[in-house]
């Protein structure tokens, strides 16, 4: 387990929540890190949450949304935009594609797409590309102190 320990897994372990790790061979040429996890692990894309860092009213925040969905920036307010990747990496302590909502260098306000709470478990990055942590949505929300609300554009 030592080679798979990350700040995200340490945070989950210290909190005493049940979780499982899932590792896969990351392809550096993958177009989407979250959809790569969906395919590699054979999962429902609604259960794999991508972690997006945004700048909202001048401050950074994290949004965890289903892998195949698009974040609705307007749902977060008029002054919301995607954060610069380098800024997101500095704030969280993780590299793009491996940013986890758990165990961040500086805890950022977190929002979770409400539809994700319908599943018994969800998958988020465990802190590096090719490693996902599976845990209950309730534990994800509790560990991140997340606000649960609609965050995505309807799929048509």
Taking residues 102-118, report their average pLDDT. Answer: 95
Distance separating alpha carbons of residues 30 and 67, to the nearest angstrom: 14
Please check the confidence at residue 1 and state whether its pLDDT lies above 50.
no
Taking residues 8-34, report their average pLDDT. Answer: 93
pLDDT band of residue 154 (cuts 50, 70, 90) is low
Check residue 30 and give its pLDDT: 86
Taking residues 118-140, report their average pLDDT. Answer: 97
Q: What is the CA radius of gyration of the chain?
A: 14
Taking residues 1-29, report their average pLDDT. Answer: 89
Check residue 2 and give its pLDDT: 47
Model-level pTM greater than 0.95? no
Q: What is the CATH number assigned to the segment(s) 2-149?
A: 3.90.960.10
Among the residue ranges 7-16, 31-40, 85-94, 126-135, the one predicted with the least confidence is 31-40
Distance separating alpha carbons of residues 28 and 138, to the nearest angstrom: 32
Please check the confidence at residue 10 and state whether its pLDDT lies above 90.
yes
49-56/80-82 β-pairing: antiparallel
High-pLDDT (> 90) share of the chain, %: 87
Please check the confidence at residue 156 and state whether its pLDDT lies above 90.
no
Please check the confidence at residue 126 and state whether its pLDDT lies above 80.
yes
Question: Where exactly are the structural domains of the chain?
Answer: 2-149
CB contact at 8 A, 107 and 101? no
Which run of H or E residues covers position 123?
strand 122-128
Check residue 153 and give its pLDDT: 81
Check residue 4 and give its pLDDT: 80
Q: Which residue has the higher pLDDT, 112 or 1?
A: 112
């Amino acid at each position: 387990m030592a080679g798979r320990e990350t700040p995200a897994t340490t945070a989950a372990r210290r909190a005493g929540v049940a979780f499982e790790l899932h590792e896969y061979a990351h392809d550096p040429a993958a177009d989407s890190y979250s959809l790569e996890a969906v395919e590699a692990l054979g999962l429902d894309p609604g259960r794999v949450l991508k972690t997006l860092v945004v700048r909202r009213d001048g401050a950074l925040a994290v949004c965890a949304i289903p892998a195949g969905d698009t974040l609705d920036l307007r749902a977060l307010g008029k002054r919301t935009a995607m954060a610069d990747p380098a800024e997101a990496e500095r704030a969280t302590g993780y590299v793009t594609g491996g940013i986890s909502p758990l165990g961040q260098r500086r805890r950022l306000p977190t929002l979770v797409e409400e539809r994700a709470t319908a599943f018994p478990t969800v998958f988020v990055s465990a802190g590096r590309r090719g490693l996902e942590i599976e845990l209950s949505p309730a534990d994800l929300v509790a560990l991140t102190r997340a606000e649960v609300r609609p965050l995505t554009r309807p799929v048509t």
